Structure 1
Amino acid sequence: MSDNQQQKEDKTTFLHAFKQQIMKAWQPVPTLNSTIIVFAILSTIFLVFGIVLVVFTNKILDSKVRYDTKCSTINYPNSDAGVAPAICTIQFTVTEDMESPVFVYYELTNFYQNHRRYVKSKSVVQLQGDSVSYSDVSNCEPIIYYSDLRKYRYVPSNLKDGDYAWPCGLIAASLFNDTYTLLDPSNNHVPISSTNIAWPSDKSTKYKNKDMTIQWTNVEDERFMVWMRTAALPDFRKLWGRIDQKVPAGTYTVQIANNYPVDSFDGTKSFVLSTANAFGGRNSFLGISYLVMGIICFIILLVFIFKKIRQNKPKQQKEN
């Protein structure tokens, strides 16, 4: 038999075995000892990772002040006149020195950004700065035109009701628009930068302005990009800015342009200063999850160990 014929025969055999699902495979049969070893390894890994994450999380410094109950006046702009918004002033205490970078967050509660209709209510084509047709913005329903957007927020009068809202959709329409000015204990202004707070992939490929004369907001603003990344849980923090200098302990003042109402969804809002580590910001959920899985695996491990001990007892009794 020639080499070509042998190769064809081998190929035919392989295809037949693949189609009939009779290919050679490793089919391990778990034993009591191997199961004990597997769960011992899993419980050790989960518990070690959980403890490390919890320890690192507890080292993160965090200072939060809720202000929706203290800033009762909401700014509702209703004209194109340049009227300065009412400013709400709140003081809070930073108990320990925070090394740079210090991250500035706003925290919202009871806001369900994970609702299916809310998540899909945007136009990817439009956000990338391309010309759009109705089919491109149809997913933005119920906010497709500026007449729809005006039901939710203020829109400059030069933008016509019959034009497509740019950007359209529920996510953009609910954009968080409170602003903050931070003053240190000596009443000096603390600079808060809005650069390098969005994902690099978002900045490079996903958002581009079309024409600011037809847009109601700047889609290349990194705070807008952060908002457009919907949160998985109803209580969440989103990055508003970063402070690239040390924040010493002391009493600080934050001046808030209180523009964002939360009464409609029975929510709360807070201003947060926080440091970070290699695992990100302060979030104990992942560490606790690892600990819970480690404990579950350890309990299962004890069950199998107990079963092995009971199996060995009759053997020992027979030998005696």
Structure 2
Amino acid sequence: MGKVKGKSGPLARRPDNSAFKQQRLPAWSPMLTANTVLPFFYFMASICMLLGVWLLLTVQSTQEIKLDYTLLFQGDVFFYYGLKNFHQNLRRYMDSRDDGQMVGRKRNLKNPSSYCSPFTKDQNGLPIAPCGAVANSIFNDSFSLTYHDSRGSVKVPLLRGGITWYTDKNVKFRNPKTDNLTLAQVFEGTARPLYWHKPVYELDPLDPTNNGFINDDLIVWMREAAFPNFKKLYGVLYRADEPFTKGLPAGNYSIGISYNFPVQYFRGRKEVVLTTLTWFGGQNHFLPIAYLVTSSLILLIAVILTVFWWKFGKNGKNMEQ
């Protein structure tokens, strides 16, 4: 039998002479003309404008009241607290937390990683739980809302639990396994953060299931905001009893504020926000304005292209080569 000589030399790596390897497969190359491109631009401009107007009208249908209480005011649904000029998005601030500790890992509970430095241990050498600058700076003002009518004063019922996401309490935040121990026994041998007045297992004395790392207020605060001006959910109106079954009735209200969170050090301001929600969320104008701006830009480009086409390229003679 004869031997087949292998390929060698400059032709050794040449692809096979096939339709696939030589790129001779049939292909569709669309011809971009004014008759196809300009209608698409006008169509996209119309769609973006309609979406922008629709979202803007939806956002405007929400009702929102903001009250700045940095200096306590006097005189005369979703309850938010807001902070201004508070930068939760600083890298060192965000990196100071130990996510391993917040999901209940016992090796991180009493031996937090270096991420928590300098909030790893207290002055007595006890490990801090939860550690880090984020937890240490938790917002701790408290509020009460009272409705006044001809019959007297009624405290507005606010649901303080259930204000977090499902993934928060089941994935991102979990308490250590108790193994038939109480939560206080599990956290025995740890210290509270420097600026806290009570340990993590006593954050909610009224609801034992809302303590530890799965406390709603702690979880909401630990979800860092992207911008220096932000608001976070404090409570939701409980609409089971009169006169709040249909929301907050018109009338006079007073807000009681326990003023604990200092803001003068970073020139910040504090406010409370009462707002309603739609399917789109709260009163946020960013997306509607973005759609309207995009629509305007697309429409402007379409008009410019139309003028050029009408003036220079309508008969197509300038396309001849």
| TM-score normalised by the chain length of structure 2 | 0.74
- Distance apart, 1:42 and its partner CA: 2.1
**Contact (CA 8 Å) 1:91, 1:254: kept in 2 or not?**
no
- Distance apart, 1:32 and its partner CA: 3.2
Task: Give runs of aligned pairs for residues 50-61 of structure 1, distance below 5 A.
Answer: 50-61=52-63
Q: CA distance change for structure 1 residues 145 and 56 in 2, over 3 Å: closer, same or farther?
A: same
Q: CA distance change for structure 1 residues 91 and 49 in 2, over 3 Å: closer, same or farther?
A: farther
Q: Which residue matches 1:270? A: 271
Whole-angstrom distance in 2 between the partners of 1:225 and 1:24: 57
Confirm or deny that 1:103 pairs with 2:78: yes
Structure 2's unaligned 5+ residue stretches are: 1-14, 177-185, 193-198, 201-211, 240-246
Query: Higher Cα Rg: structure 1 or 2?
Result: 2
Whole-angstrom distance in 1 between the partners of 2:24 and 2:75: 72
Which of 191, 201, 214 pairs up with 2:157?
191
Whole-angstrom distance in 1 between the partners of 2:23 and 2:164: 48
Whole-angstrom distance in 2 between the partners of 1:21 and 1:125: 53
- Distance apart, 1:193 and its partner CA: 0.8
Whole-angstrom distance in 1 between the partners of 2:26 and 2:71: 67
Letter in 1 for 2:142: T
**Contact (CA 8 Å) 2:82, 2:271: kept in 1 or not?**
yes
- Distance apart, 1:22 and its partner CA: 9.8
| TM-score normalised by the chain length of structure 1 | 0.74
- What do residues 168-215 of structure 1 show as CA deviations (whole Å, max 9, x unaligned)? 112111111110011002321111112221111101122123334435
Q: Which residue matches 1:6? A: none
Whole-angstrom distance in 1 between the partners of 2:26 and 2:116: 51
Whole-angstrom distance in 1 between the partners of 2:38 and 2:224: 41
Q: CA distance change for structure 1 residues 189 and 121 in 2, over 3 Å: closer, same or farther?
A: same
Confirm or deny that 1:181 pairs with 2:144: yes
Aligned residues: 262
Whole-angstrom distance in 2 between the partners of 1:22 and 1:241: 65
Runs of 4+ off more than 4 Å: 20-29, 133-136, 312-316
**Contact (CA 8 Å) 2:112, 2:120: kept in 1 or not?**
no
**Contact (CA 8 Å) 1:91, 1:251: kept in 2 or not?**
no
**Contact (CA 8 Å) 2:82, 2:272: kept in 1 or not?**
yes
Whole-angstrom distance in 1 between the partners of 2:43 and 2:105: 52
Structure 1's unaligned 5+ residue stretches are: 1-11, 72-89, 93-101, 148-160
Q: CA distance change for structure 1 residues 26 and 269 in 2, over 3 Å: closer, same or farther?
A: farther
Letter in 1 for 2:266: F
Confirm or deny that 1:221 pairs with 2:208: no
Confirm or deny that 1:239 pairs with 2:238: no
Whole-angstrom distance in 1 between the partners of 2:235 and 2:129: 24
| Identical-residue share of aligned pairs (%) | 33
Letter in 2 for 1:258: Y
Over the aligned positions, Cα root-mean-square deviation in angstroms equals 2.8
Confirm or deny that 1:165 pairs with 2:121: no
